[in-house]
Amino acid sequence: MASAADVIVVGGGVIGSAIAYYLSQEGTKVALVERGDVASGTSSACDGNILVIDKMPGYDSQLALKSQELLAELVESLDYDLEYAQRGSVLVVEDEKQAQVARDWFTRQKDAGLPMRYLEGKEVFEDEPLLAHDMVGLVECASDASLNPMAFVYGLISGARRAGAMIHPFTEVTGFLQDSTGVVRGVETTHGTISADKVVLAAGVWTPGLAATVGVNVPIKPRKGHILVAERSPHPARRKVQEFGYLLAKFGGTEGRSVEPDMDRYGVAMVFEPTEHGNFLIGSSREFVGFDQRCNHHVLELMARRALRFFPTIRDIRVIRTYAGLRPYTPDHLPIVSPVPTVPGLYIAAGHEGDGIGLAPITGRLIAQMIVGEPTAVATEPLRIDRFVNKEHKGE
């Protein structure tokens, strides 16, 4: 079956869905092609935190803040229950040594205009009474929120569909169509060809394989993470709590934590997220083990041990399910949201590591603006794919 569209979006995760949504709101005729069901890749094996608190102060955090604003609009405009709650989030500080780094982090974010507070001493336990009693500080970001990531995808997809987008689930893209000068003309799929002058590649950790078929090198690697799901139970905290050491695990520092060596080896850092259904989720881990998505029992044990370090009262609460997902990691911790200079008409929107749910609104908006030819909501220079090419030339 051959068909045509203005823009083809490859991938029905949160990023592809947001792009399809924003583009279709502009009146663009969109075809979204997804190999499985929508929300069946990383966007179905993750948490749903919409955070500014864990971003690098500067461009990274401003991008996340802008995305939070767009999300608040989506919550109103999408006709779908996203299970959205804006309760803020906190980073918990374990000892005085960490507190020095944490205060500096807090000051830089606050000076950049983010809605942050620093609590210490007694204030910590007035705020979150069930935290282990030797905790020394809390950094709070009031604008942080959470939602159900799969509901978010379904909501974006149904919004896009209502605005005229064609959604093709269970259809795999097997190659790109190009004219004799290399300009993109569409895609080849397991159900026939679709022609379009623009194609957006939003295939998460699977982006490099597809991009390689048109000679484009995309430095995205799968970075595996595990989650423990707790039964419905009283929550040990009233909002999202992460250990400050999570930032070290994410950005690759090692200073500031005294933990058993395997905690660092598997990038284990405590992340607690309450859900709207009365369950709670415990993360996190970070490792490069290719595309293996099976749960590693040893890592699950480490995560449970780490969670008890911060929340001793959850000892008798049961874990009912565990899963692992693959974060699309890039070497500089920023996603790629960019036209591909060597293949006119091709765009890439991938590499959001542990932030894709939160950054989906701004990513969708930016790609739509690039394609329609409007000025972009934020500068997109730091998100361009050529930044990696330039690095190689400098021999880094």
Partner 1 sequence: MMDDDTIVCRCEEVTVGQIRQAIREGAADVTGVKRRTRAGMGLCQGRTCEKIVMRILAQELGKPLSEFAPATVRPPVQPITFGLLAEGTDG
Ligand X SMILES: Cc1cc2nc3c(=O)[nH]c(=O)nc-3n(C[C@H](O)[C@H](O)[C@H](O)COP(=O)(O)OP(=O)(O)OC[C@H]3O[C@@H](n4cnc5c(N)ncnc54)[C@H](O)[C@@H]3O)c2cc1C
Minimal distance in Å, beta carbon 6 to partner 1? 23
Minimal distance in Å, beta carbon 192 to ligand X? 14
Please give the span between the terminal C-alpha atoms of the chain, in angstroms, as a whole number: 46
Which range touches ligand X (CB under 6 A), out of 31-39, 128-136, 248-256, 297-305?
Answer: 31-39
Please, which of residues 221-280 interact with partner 1 by CB under 8 A?
228, 230-232, 277
Q: Out of 166, 319, 372, 389, point to the residue binding partner 1 (CB under 8 A).
A: 319
Confirm if 246 and 269 have CB atoms less than 8 A apart: yes
Residue 230 to residues 48, 184, 280, Cα–Cα distance (Å) = 15, 47, 5
167 contributes a contact to partner 1 by CB under 8 A: yes
190-215 residues labelled b (16+ CB within 10 A) or e (exposed): eeebbbbbbbbbbbbbbbbebbeebe
Task: State the pairing for strand pair 221-230/240-243.
Answer: unpaired
Please, which of residues 223-252 interact with ligand X by CB under 6 A?
225, 227
Q: Out of 290, 298, 391, 392, point to the residue binding partner 1 (CB under 8 A).
A: 298
The whole-angstrom separation of Cα 239 and Cα 123 is 16
Q: Out of 46, 163, 220, 302, point to the residue binding ligand X (CB under 6 A).
A: 46
Please, which of residues 271-290 interact with partner 1 by CB under 8 A?
277, 282
Confirm if 248 and 264 have CB atoms less than 8 A apart: no
**What is the total count of residues that contact partner 1 (CB under 8 A)?**
37
Confirm if 322 and 297 have CB atoms less than 8 A apart: no
Which range touches ligand X (CB under 6 A), out of 14-22, 245-253, 291-299, 370-378?
Answer: 14-22
CB of 67 or CB of 275, closer to partner 1: 275
CB of 163 or CB of 314, closer to partner 1: 314
Please, which of residues 132-151 interact with partner 1 by CB under 8 A?
150
Which range touches ligand X (CB under 6 A), out of 41-49, 55-63, 96-104, 304-312?
Answer: 41-49
Per DSSP, the three-state class of 3 is: strand
SS3 letters for 258-303?
A: CCCHHHHHCCCCCEEEECCCCCEEEECCCECECECCCCCHHHHHHH
Confirm if 18 and 30 have CB atoms less than 8 A apart: no
Closest by CA position to 102, among listed 117, 114, 112: 117
82 contributes a contact to partner 1 by CB under 8 A: no
**What is the total count of residues that contact ligand X (CB under 6 A)?**
41
Closest by CA position to 361, among listed 29, 53, 13, 19: 19
79 contributes a contact to partner 1 by CB under 8 A: no
206 contributes a contact to ligand X by CB under 6 A: yes
Q: Out of 24, 25, 30, 48, point to the residue binding ligand X (CB under 6 A).
A: 48
Please, which of residues 286-325 interact with ligand X by CB under 6 A?
325
Q: Out of 320, 331, 374, 390, point to the residue binding partner 1 (CB under 8 A).
A: 320
The whole-angstrom separation of Cα 126 and Cα 298 is 35
User: Where does this chain bind ligand X (CB under 6 A)?
Assistant: 10-16, 33-36, 40-43, 45-49, 172-173, 202-204, 206, 210, 225, 227, 283, 325-328, 350, 352, 354-358
